[in-house]
A and B are shown apart, each in its own frame.
Chain A
Amino acid sequence: MADFLMPSLGADMDEGTLVQWEVAPGDTVRRGQVVAVVETAKGAIDVEIFRDGVVEELLVEPGTTVPVGQPIARLRECGEAEPTPGPAPAPATATAEPDTARVRASPAARRQAEALGIDLEALAGSGPDGAITLEDVGRAGSARESMAEAVAPAPAKPAAPGRPVDIRGAIAAAMSRAKREIPHYYLGHWVDLSPANEWLADWNASHPVAERLLPAVLMLRAVALAAARFPDFNGFWRDGKFVAGDGVHVGTAISLRRGGLVAPALKNADRHSLPELMDAFRDLVGRARAGRLTGSELLGGTITVSSLGEQGVEEVYPVIYPPQVAIVGFGTPVERPWVVGGRIEPRWLVRATLAADHRVSDGRRGALFLEAVTGLLQEPETL
């Protein structure tokens, strides 16, 4: 005799509701056969049985919620009974992740990437079968090779047919990979910008022009502080598991005048004051547009912020920059009627969105993280 237990259908599941039995007492069942439907936080899931046998007794009525590991049916085994019934292993269907294939890169590209400290996972390959070549690494990584060369094909060497040398090709590869491999989930939240705007107006009124702050820097700082508090949004998905970033390096999406965009990182953004961050941000934007970013800036981000600025739409659903696991978007601030203390008031609002990697975090964690970001923006003096 063996017990069939409520299976764990995911690492975060601690109970399940039996929706319906697909078998009745006396039925012969085979390993792998669906015997029940269980409702979980992720929806209704078909549950398979993991041994052959005959159903002796159903222990749980449909509609009952039971904890993971509780026996829900009793099974009579065919032939000789095993002396001790083992616990039902977690079914593979709900938790199995596809194997992450090793990045395809040439030996020369690997050696150069290691020497320059460049993450191959973030690169697009232009070689045979999409392999990353030495040229791809050189283009992405070396401080000597400027972004300008990436934007415009290097004049010294005519490109062979089919070699993407433009930044569009790099974006295409990175974003295709993101959408192919990363199970994104999205959250959105309205943020009342009034406290931040007022604080910013005060600050800028009392400082010389060179020291004035942009709203974008407050947003970067808020994301950096929240990411330091929620490490599962700050880091990388590598070789099938999450690796936390060493420090909070916030990538900031900067569009280039010649088309395309880059997302260089503000290093240790959680440990710099707003004025320091403003200086770094100004420097980064200037150098990005002049085509003079370093490899570690280009590829060192542990989380990214995509801010639309004044471009006119309210909401952005950003795509995660692999191998990062989260990206925060800010739409264009809009003035809207808003209920404050029971009264309708015109207020400046911004829509904050989060796209995060569901392999690493779940919606609830994401909500807490996004709330932390927006909460910090309500108290700009703490930034």
Chain B
Amino acid sequence: MSAARTTYREAVRAAIRAALLDDERVFLMGEDVGSYGGCFGVSKGLLEEFGPERIRDTPLSESGFTGAGIGAALGGMRPIVEIMTVNFSLLALDQIVNSAATIRHMSDGQFSVPLVIRMATGAGRQLAAQHSHSLESFYAHVPGIRVVAPATLEDARGMLPAALADPDPVVIFEHTSLYNLEGELAEDAGAVDLDRAAIRRPGRDVTLVTHGGSLAKTLAAAATLAEEGIEAEVIDLRSLRPLDDATIIASVSRTRRAVMVDEGWRTMSLAAELVTRIVEQAFYELDAPLARVCTAEVPIPYPAHLEQAALPSADKIVAAARRLTGG
């Protein structure tokens, strides 16, 4: 089957469009998703094609429209709720944590919430501290929801249909730096699995564990390390909850060294959880301390040079990996 040149943004749009065509219960709802075409341009053209019943602009009330989405899901619909950034999603946290994540449990399985929430995350576009944070770990902390982070075109296209097929709530994190990512995507690309981490580059000397917007930096670091004779294995987590322990532990058991690359802050982070799991399950396989490359513990700065200085970079990843391999 042939492949076409496309972008991450277009891949997400194609996924939404296919879902709307496939299943009349699906609709998209969020701030500026209709007339404006989405604040990152993801839903451009969909209002014209599907009409305001299925592409619904909402008031600026994350709690309100997320709650409406939960209600619609309980009522048999398959809503896709878009929240502009994870920063704003904190206003909907009550609905997500106290309602979406709990209803199956509290109703003893009588009701489920087949809701998909998409939100942008991450820094790098000079959107300042209230639009740039990476709070994936807030959601990955909560039982009752699934959390995924597509980092490739295939996953941008394939995670949404898989999430819609899940009977329980799924949160999809789309890193803002990825929307312009270009590449080839098979024309018949469709649903992908949501459970397994992917090894994006095999290596034997050190494992670099990352996800979402940090994947490209991590692959760049691995290329630099290879020039120095250090073969890094790069794992793209894909699923942040549940974590694919088997893939991570198997990799670290081979390489015996690992660096977590996480755009979240270090303290109480996804990176911290990964370190703990590796130590719990593979302590005796380790041949060096574990390391983390995370964002500096500051609100993301606005000036470009300070923003870049705060974020994980390929150089920082290379330095961390080099240290673990005795270099």
Interface residues of A (CB under 8 A from B): 106-111, 126-128, 131, 133-135, 158-163
B287 and A162 form a contact (CB under 8 A): no
The 5 A-B residue pairs whose C-beta atoms are closest, nearest first, are: A106-B287, A158-B229, A108-B287, A162-B327, A134-B287
Q: Residues 133-152 of chain B: 1 if any A CB is under 8 Å from the residue's CB, otherwise 0?
A: 00000000000000000000
Given the interface pairs A134-B256, A159-B229, the reply to whether A127 lies near B327 with Cβ below 8 Å is no
Q: How far is the CB of A297 from chain B (nearest CB, A)?
A: 25
Contact segment of B102-110, B119-127, B308-316, B318-326: B318-326
Given the interface pairs A133-B288, A160-B229, A161-B229, the reply to whether A108 lies near B327 with Cβ below 8 Å is no
Interface residues of B (CB under 8 A from A): 205, 228-230, 256, 283-289, 322-327
| Residue in B closest to A131 when the chains form the complex, CB atoms | B288
A160 and B288 form a contact (CB under 8 A): no
A160 and B327 form a contact (CB under 8 A): yes
A107 to B288, CA, bound (A): 8
A106 to B283, CA, bound (A): 9
A128 and B323 form a contact (CB under 8 A): yes
Prevailing SS type, chain A contact patch: loop
Given the interface pairs A127-B288, A128-B324, the reply to whether A108 lies near B256 with Cβ below 8 Å is yes
Residue from the list A108, A135, A163 in contact with B286, Cβ < 8 A: A108
A347 to B126, CA, bound (A): 89
A160 and B285 form a contact (CB under 8 A): no
Residue from the list B205, B284, B287, B322 in contact with A127, Cβ < 8 A: B287
| Residue in B closest to A109 when the chains form the complex, CB atoms | B287
* Residue of B230, B288, B289, B322 with most chain A CB atoms under a 10 A cut-off: B288
B326 and A126 form a contact (CB under 8 A): yes
Residues in chain A near residue B288, CB distance under 8 A: 106, 127-128, 131, 133
Residue from the list A128, A135, A163 in contact with B289, Cβ < 8 A: A128
A110 to B229, CA, bound (A): 26
Q: How far is the CB of A162 from chain B (nearest CB, A)?
A: 5
Q: How far is the CB of A134 from chain B (nearest CB, A)?
A: 5
Residues in chain A near residue B283, CB distance under 8 A: 107
| Residue in A closest to B289 when the chains form the complex, CB atoms | A128
A160 and B286 form a contact (CB under 8 A): no
| 30 intermolecular pairs with C-beta atoms under 8 Å apart | A106-B286, A106-B288, A107-B284, A107-B286, A108-B284, A108-B285, A110-B284, A127-B287, A127-B288, A127-B326, A128-B288, A128-B289, A128-B326, A131-B288, A133-B287, A135-B287, A158-B229, A160-B205, A160-B228, A160-B229, A160-B322, A160-B325, A160-B326, A161-B228, A161-B229, A161-B322, A161-B327, A162-B327, A163-B326, A163-B327
| Residue in B closest to A137 when the chains form the complex, CB atoms | B287
| Residue in A closest to B206 when the chains form the complex, CB atoms | A160
| Residue in B closest to A162 when the chains form the complex, CB atoms | B327
Residues in chain B near residue A107, CB distance under 8 A: 283-287
Residues in chain A near residue B256, CB distance under 8 A: 106, 108, 134
Residues in chain A near residue B325, CB distance under 8 A: 160, 163
Residues in chain B near residue A131, CB distance under 8 A: 288
| Residue in A closest to B291 when the chains form the complex, CB atoms | A128
Residues in chain A near residue B228, CB distance under 8 A: 160-161
Residues in chain A near residue B284, CB distance under 8 A: 107-108, 110-111
A131 to B256, CA, bound (A): 14
Q: How far is the CB of B280 from chain A (nearest CB, A)?
A: 12
Q: How far is the CB of B121 from chain A (nearest CB, A)?
A: 32
Residues in chain B near residue A163, CB distance under 8 A: 325-327
| Residue in A closest to B225 when the chains form the complex, CB atoms | A160
A160 and B230 form a contact (CB under 8 A): yes
A108 to B289, CA, bound (A): 11
A298 to B230, CA, bound (A): 30
Q: How far is the CB of B256 from chain A (nearest CB, A)?
A: 6
Q: How far is the CB of B74 from chain A (nearest CB, A)?
A: 49
